[in-house]
Amino acid sequence: MSRPDAECRPRAPRTIAEANTSITSSPTALRGNSLAIEPATGLMALRPSHSATRTAEWPATALHAAFVAVSQQLDSTYAYARIAYNPLAGGSPSLSDPMAKTKKDTANGAIDLRAKLWAAADALRANMDAAEYKHVVLGLIFLKYISDAFEAKYAELDAERKQGADPEDPDEYRAVNIFWVPKEARWSLLKANAPQPTIGKAVDDAMEAIERDNPSLKAVLPKDYARPGLDKERLGQLINLVSDIGLGSPADRAKDILGQVYEYFLAQFASAEGKKGGQFYTPSHVVRVLVAMLAPYKGRVYDPCCGSGGMFVQSEKFIEAHAGKIGDISIYGQESNYTTWRLAKMNLALRGIDAQIAHGDTFHNDRHPDLKADYVLANPPFNDSDWRGELLRDDKRWVYGTPPAGNANYAWVQHFIHHLAPSGIAGFVLANGSMSSNQSGEGEIRKSIIEGDLVDCMVALPGQLFYSTQIPVCLWFLARDRKNTRFRDRRGETLFIDARKMGTMVDRTHRELTEGDAAKIAGTYHAWRGDEGADEYADVPGFCKSAKLEEIRAHGYVLTPGRYVGAEAVEDDGEPFDGKMNRLTAALREQQLEAAKLDEAIAANLKELGYGG
């Protein structure tokens, strides 16, 4: 971040009140601006008044972290800050240098990373729209990441020269699954040239060189940093900011960094554009539930709408956590959005995951037509009305009925079934309407799938799980062979789980499922289907129910868990009913008498003021 010299920089305000006073009495460049906060990250920005969609009042209730930091940058038209005031701990919020490191910053590195990246991307906003500039930032993050990993290995090999190691031999890096970074693409060179007007061409050349020497990245990296529309001074500032982010260490390599950043960016960009329907990334805590329930230890894993590749990353983490071998699964995916496909390729490449990720429209250009997968994990676009279904009326995948042209939900469901191996299992996210809709023949398709004995489990999730949409969602689990020897014979039964009360609010508008929530949901499913070593299954009123096919028929083939699990059991408090009613009735009468007295007092006060009757 570029900053004024200390002697010419104005003193930072020390309180929120002082900050707001300084805004209202500031030079013309600052007048009319206001402080805006993004609660999810604690990022505060001084926004220009001419950008109405990005201006907001400072809400006192939003002060929720441990300190507030504000500094001015970019010709005094912006200021960024992180909030850290804890109202429960008392004291007053204060403002100090935002670049100062604190213990809280270190402990909360993921949040700090996303806030810092958003500030960086936001600095480029004047020149690029939301759909473009996320790729500028993520391309640089990828370059910095592989450069850090390369430099760490380079230092190790350089120290072993006497033992015959050659730090300039590309094979030394490829042998340990690290990308070879040629000299002209190394981050140190880009950082040194960041202030130069030719920095855009330098970045493009670096991307070209990396693709040239690493065939798996061919046509994946962004190479349009030299275009005239991208401000080179701000690009240089962005490179300096990214330089401060410590990526490439073993701890960070284990994280889905690109996924975290992309999910966060999508929410910010969708909000900036007024669009809330982005479906490019599934929150990791939702993916964790899907993966834990399917338990993909071995076989072919397929995601036909893979977004940034988060399903595959979580599958890898699951296998590692359960002492399995990454090589025991093979990964296949497809993504229709070209820039998102490139992000998925980069995301998986960072982790050394060998995957067959194709680009193209899954419905109209299935790139894995003969694949029969052991596991399907997916989060397709919800209620997609623009899938051109009228061109596929007689498609061989529509075994259970032709899906309506105005909604792709049941086209996705049947595509998943089509690609399942004889003993395969699919787990996917859909909008809640898919469980009960009878529009345009969807009810008949659902009936055919249920009568085909494919529905293994249905899970209703709580709301507010996604950053990009508030549509309530559910999880479907379908199994081709429900009498197979891996688990017990489940033919004619379906497990319903109502998890709508689960999750923890992480801010005012977003909820996350905890690891404990995921373990409870997955453990219930595994107990029900008879996994080896699982607990004994039992119905729990209000949470889970194993229902027979006859019961589902009686409910008109509606698969909403709330219809089956019943009401949560209420613990008897031991108070006799008659006694409780007498007590409650007496309390009600007392409150009514008190209310009457208050009404009389209000009427008397109004009369004194000349408004009485």
The string of pLDDT tens digits covering residues 285-328 is: 898 999 999 999 889 999 999 988 878 878 877 787 776 677 78
Q: What are the backbone angles phi and psi of residue 82, rounded to the nearest 5°?
A: -110, 135
- DSSP at 540: B
Of 65-79, 335-349, 523-537, the range with the lowest mean pLDDT is 65-79
pLDDT in tens, 11-68: 444 444 454 454 444 433 333 444 443 333 333 443 333 333 332 333 322 322 222 3
What pLDDT score was predicted for residue 125? 63
Give the integer Cα–Cα distance in Å for 449 and 400. 6
Measured CA to CA in angstroms, residue 7 lies from 11, 146, 291, 526 at distances of 10, 38, 55, 65
In the beta sheet, which residues pair with residue 38? Answer: 43
Q: How confident is the model at residue 525 (pLDDT cuts 50, 70, 90)?
A: very high
For residue 473, the cross-strand partners are: 431
> What is the structure's pLDDT at 467?
64
Residue 277 or residue 63, greater confidence: 277
Mean pLDDT of 526-532: 95
* Helix H or strand E segment including 418: helix 409-418
pLDDT at 149: 83
DSSP state, 69? E
Is 0.75 surpassed by the pTM of this model? Answer: no
Ramachandran assignment for 47, one of left (phi > 0), alpha (psi -120 to 50 degrees), beta (any other): beta
**Quick one: pLDDT at residue 237?**
86
Q: What's the average model confidence in pLDDT over 122-129? A: 64
Residue 204, pLDDT score: 97
CA 610 to the chain's CA centroid = 59
Cα–Cα distance for residue pair 128/227, rounded to 1 Å: 11
Q: What span, in angstroms and rounded, lies between the C-alpha atoms of 77 and 393?
A: 56
Gap between the terminal Cα atoms of the chain: 67
Model confidence at 156: pLDDT above 60 = yes
Report the half-sphere exposure of 58 (CA within 13 A, side-chain side).
24
Which residue shows structure tokens 């299992």?
425
Choice among 26-40, 71-85, 265-279, 314-328 with the minimum mean pLDDT: 71-85
Q: How confident is the model at residue 338 (pLDDT cuts 50, 70, 90)?
A: confident
User: Percent of the chain, pLDDT > 90?
Assistant: 47
Q: Are 14 and 81 in contact (CB under 8 A)?
A: no
Give the integer Cα–Cα distance in Å for 525 and 391: 38
Please report how many Cα atoms fall inside a 13 Å half-sphere around the Cα of residue 580, on the Cβ side: 6
- Report yes or no: 570 and 596 within 8 Å, Cβ to Cβ: no
Which phi and psi (to 5°) does residue 103 adopt? Answer: -60, -35
Q: Is the pLDDT of residue 146 over 70?
A: yes
Could you tell me the pLDDT band of residue 570, with boundaries at 50, 70 and 90? low
Reported as a pLDDT band with limits 50, 70 and 90, residue 593 is very high
Q: In what order do the strands lie in the sheet with 299-303?
A: 355-359, 329-335, 299-303, 373-378, 420-431, 473-479, 455-460, 493-498, 544-548
Widest CA span in the chain:
103
Q: Give residue 486's pLDDT.
A: 84
pLDDT at site 124 = 62
Residue 448 CA to chain centroid, in angstroms?
Answer: 33
Examine the pLDDT at 417 and tell me if it is beyond 50. Answer: yes
Q: How far apart are CA 131 and CA 139, in angstroms?
A: 14
Q: Do residues 565 and 546 lie in contact, with contact meaning Cβ atoms separated by under 8 Å?
A: no
Residues linked to residue 355 through DSSP beta bridges, in sequence order:
331
The C-alpha angle 108, 348, 168, rounded to 5 degrees, equals: 95
Give me the phi and psi of 29, to 5 degrees please.
-60, -25
Q: Residue 594 contacts by C-beta under 8 Å, 6 or more apart in sequence?
A: none
Q: Which residues contact 342 (CB under 8 A, 6 or more apart)?
A: 135, 219, 220, 221, 222
Instruction: Give the dihedral sign, CA 464/469/472/474.
Output: negative
Confidence class of residue 264 from pLDDT cuts 50, 70 and 90? Answer: low
Q: Is 111:123 a contact under the CB 8 Å cutoff?
A: no
Q: Does an H or E element contain 79, and which?
A: strand 78-82
Q: Which of 265, 272, 264 is nearest to 54 (CA)?
A: 272
Q: CA 315, CA 485: separation in Å to the nearest integer?
A: 23
Give the Cα separation of 406 and 388 in Å (integer): 8
**Tell me, what's the pLDDT at 588?**
93
What pLDDT does 238 receive? 87
Using an 8 Å Cβ cutoff, are 81 and 95 in contact?
Answer: yes
Q: Per the structure block, which two tokens stand in for 111?
A: 């949040």
Q: Predicted confidence band at 263 (pLDDT cuts at 50, 70, 90)? A: low
In this prediction, residue 89 has a pLDDT band, given cuts at 50, 70 and 90, of very low
Q: How confident is the model at residue 245 (pLDDT cuts 50, 70, 90)?
A: low
pLDDT at position 457, please?
98
- The model's pLDDT over 351-379, given as tens digits with 9 standing for 90+, comes to 778 899 999 999 999 999 999 999 999 99
Average pLDDT over residues 409-430: 97
| Contact of 131 with 265, CB cutoff 8 Å | no
Three-class HEC string of 358-381 = EECCCCCCCCCCCCCEEEEEECCC
Pull the structure tokens for residue 540. Answer: 């729990």
Task: Find the helix or strand (DSSP H, E) in which 478 lies.
Answer: strand 473-479
Categorize the per-residue pLDDT at 69 as very low, low, confident or very high, splitting at 50, 70 and 90.
very low
Q: State which of 237-246, 252-261, 314-323, 353-362 shows the largest mean pLDDT.
A: 353-362
Residues in the chain: 613
DSSP string, 574-591: ---HHHHHHHHHHHHHHH
Structure tokens belonging to residue 210: 């990396």
Q: What is the mean pLDDT of the chain?
A: 78
| Helix, strand, or coil (residue 299) | strand
Select, from the ranges 38-42, 114-118, 245-249, the one with the highest average predicted confidence (pLDDT): 114-118
- Rounded Cα distance between 332 and 256, Å, is 19
Instruction: Locate 141 and state its tokens.
Output: 């993050």
Tell me: pLDDT of 71 over 50: no
CB atoms within 10 A of CB 198: 11
pLDDT at 568: 73
Rounded distance between C-alpha atoms, residue 494 and residue 126, angstroms: 53
Distance, CA of 533 to CA of 35 (rounded, Å): 55
Amino acid letter for position 263? E
Rounded to an integer, what distance in angstroms lies between the CA atom of residue 40 and that of residue 409? 31
Q: Which segment of 71-75, 347-351, 449-453, 541-545 scores lowest on mean pLDDT?
A: 71-75
Comparison of pLDDT for 246 and 338, the residue scoring more? 338
What pLDDT is stored for residue 267 in this prediction? 55
